[in-house]
């Protein structure tokens, strides 16, 4: 018999596979009720199985009308540009490494000046409060997630997959 985490993952994957745009919104409590578990079990599955490294971006909004949005981004082997950068990024980035990466992405024309400013400010605001090594892990994960989202922006620049 499969574990609870496996069953939750399979359910969410089923929803993604049957979505028209590779995106699904669910409520954590409803998924937990469906599997008779606590909401933190759903959070665990999202954190360990739906990661940028596996081709997913997870957005969470808390509160009464809260939801979890899972976006499936399946990189193609033939993709280049941001996809190649995304694949090479490690699990952690120092502030200097992040800044160098952002500068090189802008110079290569893979990100606009505005996109670089957005990533830089968001990462500073959200990752720099933590102590090393957590801040370096957060910085890398945030940049990976933002590269996935920027690659599928409304401008039609599907650069990661």
pLDDT digits (tens, 9 = 90+) for 116-136: 999 999 888 888 788 888 888
Residue 46 main-chain phi, psi, to 5 deg: -65, -40
Distance of CA 6 to the CA centre of its chain: 20
Q: Are 116 and 105 in contact (CB under 8 A)?
A: yes
CA distance 56 to 104: 24
| Interior angle at CA 95, CA 108 and CA 89, nearest 5 | 55
CA distance 85 to 7: 32
Least confident piece of the model among 64-68, 71-75, 98-102: 71-75
Q: Given this model, what pLDDT does residue 146 score?
A: 87
Give the highest mean pLDDT range of 51-55, 85-89, 128-132, 156-160.
128-132
The CATH class of 4-72 is alpha beta
> Which residues in the chain are classed under CATH 3.30.56.130?
4-72
Count Cβ atoms below 10 Å from residue 155 Cβ, excluding itself.
8
Residue whose structure tokens are 């160098």:
100
pLDDT digits (tens, 9 = 90+) for 31-72: 999 999 998 899 899 988 888 777 788 888 776 666 899 988
């Amino acid at each position: 018999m499969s574990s609870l985490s496996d069953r939750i993952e399979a359910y969410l994957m089923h929803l993604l596979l049957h979505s028209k745009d590779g995106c699904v919104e669910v409520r954590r409590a409803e998924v937990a009720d469906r599997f008779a578990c606590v909401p933190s079990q759903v959070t665990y599955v999202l954190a360990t199985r739906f990661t940028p490294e596996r081709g997913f971006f997870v957005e969470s909004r808390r509160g009464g009308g809260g939801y979890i949005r899972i976006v499936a981004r399946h990189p193609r082997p033939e993709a280049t540009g941001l996809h190649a950068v995304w694949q090479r990024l490690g699990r952690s980035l120092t502030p200097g490494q992040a800044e160098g990466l952002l500068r090189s992405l802008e110079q290569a024309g893979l990100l606009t000046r505005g996109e670089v400013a957005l990533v830089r400010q968001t990462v500073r605001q959200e990752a720099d409060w933590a102590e090393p090594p957590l801040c370096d892990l957060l910085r890398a994960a945030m940049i990976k997630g933002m590269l996935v989202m920027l690659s599928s922006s409304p401008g039609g620049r599907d650069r990661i997959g």
